[in-house]
Copies of this chain bind each other. A is one copy, B any other.
Amino acid sequence: MKYTEFENCGLKKSLDMISGKWNPLILYHLFHQGNYRFNELWQTIPKVSKKVLTKHLRQLEENGLIQRKEIQGFPPRTSYNLSNKGKKLGPILKDLDNFGNS
């Protein structure tokens, strides 16, 4: 495998999707409690800044792992939950967790 091939191999793509500082924790919460509004998530993850949380969520959304929905009403709310693709990560994250604990 050459460098150029590596840059867009599946492994690299997957790791880029999940390895931002807060992504594993965001995914963890979405796996364990279906869906979150923005501020809920922000309060649940105490140390992340809004800016970075937004950035992580946008990126997860772009990569198709989560879905963002705007909820009608005022003030405007958003809801985030795992997509079908995102849910497929479940067993892999579990394997990684087991590996890290072994």
Copies in the complex: 2
Q: In the complex, what residues of B have CB within 8 A of residue A25's CB?
A: 1, 3, 6
Q: In the complex, what residues of B have CB within 8 A of residue A85's CB?
A: 102
Contacts A92-B96, A95-B95 given; indicate if A24 touches B46 (C-beta within 8 A).
no
* 8 A Cβ contacts from A1-60 to B: 1-3, 6, 9-15, 17-19, 24-25, 28-29, 32, 45-47
Query: What's the nearest-Cβ distance from chain B to residue A32, in Å?
Result: 8
For the complex, is A72 an interface residue (Cβ under 8 Å from B)?
no
Per DSSP, are chain A's interface residues mostly helix, strand or loop, or mixed? Answer: helix
Is A100 a contact partner of B3 (Cβ separation < 8 A)?
A: no
Q: In the complex, what residues of B have CB within 8 A of residue A13's CB?
A: 100-101
